[in-house]
Chain A
């Protein structure tokens, strides 16, 4: 009985939050064409996400590509398919691991920072100050972050995929001694532009998800520093869950 009611409460809260996030997204779309366009603020958000996440995205991309090459080599060798190593690494990176890992890293790095910044603004009445000056927080704070995330996450994904393929090449060709010619040839043969596009569609959705969730959670902050910490954690956890769930849904639908 106790477990059921607790479960009910959690579900109720989650549904309520999802409703709130949908409203935030809707308001952002409504405000999208409205003046003033705050270009400088928008570029600051682009820079913020890029600068915050670039290094960690390169690092994850590199090691993911490298470990993929090791694992795939182990599997492919069993039936003499080492020549497909390049194709295997590139397919995994473009379609799946590049978009997902990049989004998870951006959520952990930039999403948490967004939630913390907006949360601090909320509890120190800076959000109230915006309202008092007749500026909508969704227009001023959330919209530029949503846009920046939708642009930067795919860009970072491209970087991550590229670096991952380089890492895979390094391990496959230089460490494991696969023939460089076949490695590249099979890769270019098998992987199509559609694979990259599919990954990028995903990353656009992931970018939107993590920004909506992080902004929403930030604007929900209550109390003091503790409240800010709470919403920051929630933002990262919920973003990660949402990214993984939408990854499955989109994979099932797209292919």
Chain B
């Protein structure tokens, strides 16, 4: 992968919370214009990792480079400029529950464009339609099911057609048909707009069908990052366990131990 442009680069990233070591010297590069899927066990730090990409969390040690800019060294204002390039889908959606569905999706458009309301409304309708939702713009997030909330959040993340898309478990909690629809939507968005996408998941079939490369997070490090085929045939025991769905019998993977 050395010949490709890397839009995001993490170098020796360490992050702990009150002594709980979540990331432990993690290295990862995200190739531009591709779909990278990050797999790993629940509670292994995938969401924590993704939040480092746009500086929602800053590393205790190490560097996070976005397009060559070190987020750790940036002033707040510059950090906000970098964030405008991202669309972020939170694991739980993180919709604003005091705003309607339509206002949620319109939010980034109202904040960062000076479009007229009619145009914003049209984009909101279009994005909601893409995630299979129609006629719910006046509803409040509290009235929706978990899966619907996630799709609204996806529409919000896509609203500005950002150049880097970060998805934290985009299909968890969706039915199989909707999973395929969302998978297709992500794939076509990436191809059509030539953007970069990072998807966090523990859904293997989604990973194998969408990914250009798959990275595996294990005990605070990326222990493999390759194309789907080599990933499937990886000799690494944690990966084979993960693929086969075998319980980890060797060591528990809460990271309170050693180094």
Which residues of A approach B to under 8 Å, CB–CB? 36, 117, 120-121, 124-126, 128-129, 131-136
Contacts and interface: CB of A to CB of B under 8 A. Distances in A.
B97 A126 contact: yes
B209 interface: no
Contacts, number: 46
A133 B108 contact: yes
30 contacts: A36-B110, A36-B111, A121-B96, A124-B92, A124-B97, A125-B90, A125-B92, A126-B95, A126-B96, A126-B97, A128-B51, A128-B56, A129-B88, A129-B95, A129-B96, A131-B56, A132-B54, A132-B56, A132-B83, A132-B88, A132-B90, A133-B83, A133-B108, A133-B111, A133-B112, A134-B80, A134-B83, A134-B111, A135-B111, A136-B80
Please list the 10 inter-chain residue pairs (A to B) with the smallest Cβ-Cβ separation, ordered nearest first: A129-B94, A132-B88, A125-B94, A134-B83, A134-B80, A134-B84, A133-B108, A125-B90, A126-B94, A128-B56
Interface size of B as a range = 20 to 34
Interface of B: 51, 54, 56, 80-81, 83-84, 86, 88, 90, 92, 94-98, 107-108, 110-112
A126 to B, nearest CB: 5
A234 to B, nearest CB: 21
A193 B256 CA distance: 67
Contacts of B96: 121, 126, 129
Contacts of B54: 132
Contacts of B90: 125, 128-129, 132
Nearest to A131: B56
Contacts of B97: 120, 124, 126
Contacts of B92: 124-125
Contact of B86 (A125, A132, A135): A132
A131 B83 contact: yes
A117 B98 contact: yes
A132 B164 CA distance: 12
Nearest to A125: B94
Contacts of A129: 88, 90, 94-96
Contacts of B81: 134
A132 B95 CA distance: 12
Nearest to B159: A133
Nearest to B83: A134
Nearest to B55: A131
Nearest to B85: A134
Contacts of B112: 133-134
